[in-house]
Amino acid sequence: MGFWQGRRVLLTGHTGFKGAWLAHWLLLRGARPYGLALAPDTQPTLFDQLGLAARMDHAIGDIRDADLVARRVQEVVPEVAFHLAAQALVRRSYSAPTETFATNVMGTVHVMEALRLANRHCALVVVTTDKVYENREWCHAYRETDALGGHDPYSASKAACEIAVASYRRAFFAQGPVAIGVARAGNVIGGGDWAQDRIVPDFIRAGLSGQPLSMRNPHASRPWQHVLDPLAGYMTLAERLFAGETVAQDAFNFGPDSADQRSVAKLLQAAQQYWPVDWTDASDPEAPHEAGLLALTTDKARSILDWHPRWRFDRAVKRTIGWYRAVEVEGADPIACTTADIDAFEAVA
């Protein structure tokens, strides 16, 4: 039997894009996922498309509520926890900075504190972002030892979250029972993302409506990767943490090969091969600051976790747009399409 068979897994943020993909993958591997998240805030939502409310133990709640988080941990008694719940949008963080810091910093503290008080052996993977680094817009890729920072409230809140994680690791978990690892991922794409102010969902909505897409920052460069690549890293990290490997109790970058760094415009051009959507450059120099250049080095995850990205940029784009076309145009079953992507991904050595 595999590691995940029958494993009790707490998954915060399971109603989001990444969380829904991870919940479905865990179910396929025989795990017992228990969710805690806000209700989905988009229409449609991958969580609903995958029918996850009926397939897992599903609870709606706000991680800013410490008592609620503690009760959920007591109910689940998790062996593994993935903390994905967050206010994850850069532009929203400018209009809702208090919510962003409260969710991303104190929400994480509430999860760690609940696990500390439970006092049971548990592997905890805290998911942050590539944007935790003090981004100097330089050409080399950031490594895990580079300084944390953050210009916008989202990035700064995630960096602050990591400082809180480091404190809990040293102050409370140096001798167990909770083993904490941090996962920093690049910009993910994949079928079923319906969030506002994200490039692929905006591209798909334009394609479905027949309207051209206005891009606010087409020349920005990002480490694009299919959602399954970082999720595979999260699961690998959780397994190593559960096994008690001290080298895993640290921060890890999960990103694509350096050759797969692309601008927003290049991403759109690749997507147009599979769905001909027109787009225009709507850059606004007065818009709130967003990073123009950001890349990650993944040497640490490769050497310590033996993790490697499996899908190159072109395949990631093809599978992503293919999922949307199959589900939204051809009427295919979202569960079958998501499972097919996971099967194809796992078949890659």
Reported as a single tens digit per residue, the pLDDT across 212-229 is: 898 877 888 888 999 999
Q: Which of 170, 266, 287, 184 is nearest to 218 (CA)?
A: 266
According to the model, what pLDDT value does residue 157 have? 96
pLDDT for 214 equals: 85
Contact call for residues 66 and 110 (beta carbons, < 8 A): yes
Residue with tokens 């897409």: 213
For the question of whether the overall pTM of this predicted structure is more than 0.85, the answer is: yes
Please report the pLDDT score of residue 14 as a whole number: 98
Residue whose C-alpha is closest to residue 81's, from 179, 176, 227, 226:
179
**pLDDT for the residue numbered 292:** 54
Q: Kindly list the distances between the CA atom of residue 327 and the CA atoms of 15, 16, 71, 116, 226, in Å, as whole numbers in the listed order.
A: 19, 18, 37, 42, 18
Q: For residues 65, 71, 74 and 78, what is the CA-based torsion angle, rounded to 10 degrees? A: -50
- pLDDT confidence of residue 139: 64
pLDDT at 285: 57
- Which positions of the chain have pLDDT values less than 70? 1, 137-139, 282-293
Q: Where do the H-state alpha helices sit in 77-216? A: 90-95, 97-101, 107-118, 153-171, 199-209
Q: How far apart are CA 192 and CA 209, in angstroms?
A: 17
Q: Which amino acid is at 282?
A: A
**CB-CB neighbours of 297 under 10 Å:** 17
Q: Quick one: tokens of 335?
A: 């569960």
Strand partners, 122: 178
Q: What pLDDT is attached to residue 289?
A: 46
Of 208, 211, 209, the C-alpha closest to 329 is 208
Q: What are phi and psi of 184, to 5 degrees?
A: -110, 115
SS3 state of residue 198: coil
- List the domains of the chain with CATH numbers: 8-189+225-261+294-317 (3.40.50.720)
Return the pLDDT at 186: 80
CB atoms within 10 A of CB 41: 11
Q: From CA 232, how far away is CA 148, in angstroms rounded?
A: 24
Q: What pLDDT is attached to residue 288?
A: 58
